[in-house]
Amino acid sequence: MKVQHFLILAFLLMVAVLAGYFFATDSGQGLALSRSSSNTKPGIGDKDRPSAVSAQTRFENAGWSFKGGKPGAFITRIRAEDLDDYQPVRYPEDRIAFEGEPVTAHVLVPSSNRRQALTPNQNGEYPRVLTEPGEPVEVLLTFSQSPPGTVLAVSSQDGGFLHTGTAAATLKLDDNRQVALGFLVSGNPGIHRISLTTPNGDTRTLQFWAGPELPLNSSLISRQ
Q: Does residue 50 form part of some domain?
A: no
What is the CATH number for 142? 2.60.40.1930
Give SS3 for 136: strand
Rg of the chain taking only CA atoms, in angstroms: 32
Same domain for 191 and 83? Answer: yes
Coil vs helix vs strand at 55: helix
Please state, in angstroms and rounded to a whole number, the distance separating the CA atoms of residues 181 and 196.
11
Shared domain for 78 and 36, answered yes or no, is: no
For the cut 60, the answer to whether the pLDDT of residue 216 exceeds it is: no
Q: Are 126 and 139 in contact (CB under 8 A)?
A: no
Those residues with Cβ within 8 angstroms of residue 147's Cβ, 6 or more apart along the chain or in another chain = 173, 177
Alpha-carbon gap, residue 19 to 106, rounded angstroms: 81
Whole-number pLDDT of residue 39: 42
Residue 49 lies in a domain: no
In a domain, 60, yes or no: yes
- Find, among 91, 105, 98, the residue nearest to 122 by Cα: 98
- Determine contact, residues 66/75, Cβ cutoff 8 Å: yes
- Alpha-carbon distance of 220 to 127, in angstroms, equals 6
Tell me the mean pLDDT in the region 157-165.
89
Structural domain includes residue 137: yes
Query: Does 92 share its domain with 18?
Result: no
Quick one: 146 and 198 in the same domain?
Answer: yes
Find the mean pLDDT for residues 175-200. Answer: 94
- pLDDT of 60 reads 64
**Calpha distance 181→193 (Å, rounded):** 14
Could you read off the pLDDT of 16-60 as tens digits, one per residue?
A: 555 554 444 444 444 333 333 334 343 433 333 333 345 556 666
Is there a single domain that holds both residue 22 and residue 113?
no
Residue 2 lies in a domain: yes
Domain hosting 14: range is: 1-44
Q: State the average pLDDT over residues 134-162.
A: 94
83 shares its domain with 161: yes
* 57, containing H or E segment: helix 55-61
Distances (CA, A) of 21 to 8, 13, 15, 24, 28: 20, 12, 10, 5, 11
Distance of CA 126 to the CA centre of its chain: 22
Domain shared by 104 and 19, yes or no: no
Label residue 178 by pLDDT band (50, 70, 90).
very high
> Of 182, 152, 186, which Cα lies nearest the Cα of 169?
152
In a domain, 148, yes or no: yes
Q: Is residue 99 part of a domain?
A: yes
E strands present in the chain: 65-66, 74-75, 87-89, 103-109, 114-118, 128-131, 136-143, 151-156, 161-162, 168-172, 178-184, 190-197, 203-210, 221-222
pLDDT at 120: 92
- Residues 95-112: tens digit of each pLDDT: 666 788 999 999 999 888
Do 16 and 127 lie in a common domain? no
pLDDT at 195: 98
Residues 170, 72 within the same domain? yes
Q: Are residues 113 and 204 in the same domain?
A: yes
Tens-place pLDDT, residues 194-211: 999 999 999 999 999 999
Q: Are residues 28 and 107 in the same domain?
A: no
Q: Is residue 151 part of a domain?
A: yes
Domain count, the chain: 2
Whether 180 contacts 139, CB under 8 Å? yes
Residues 217 and 127 in one domain: yes
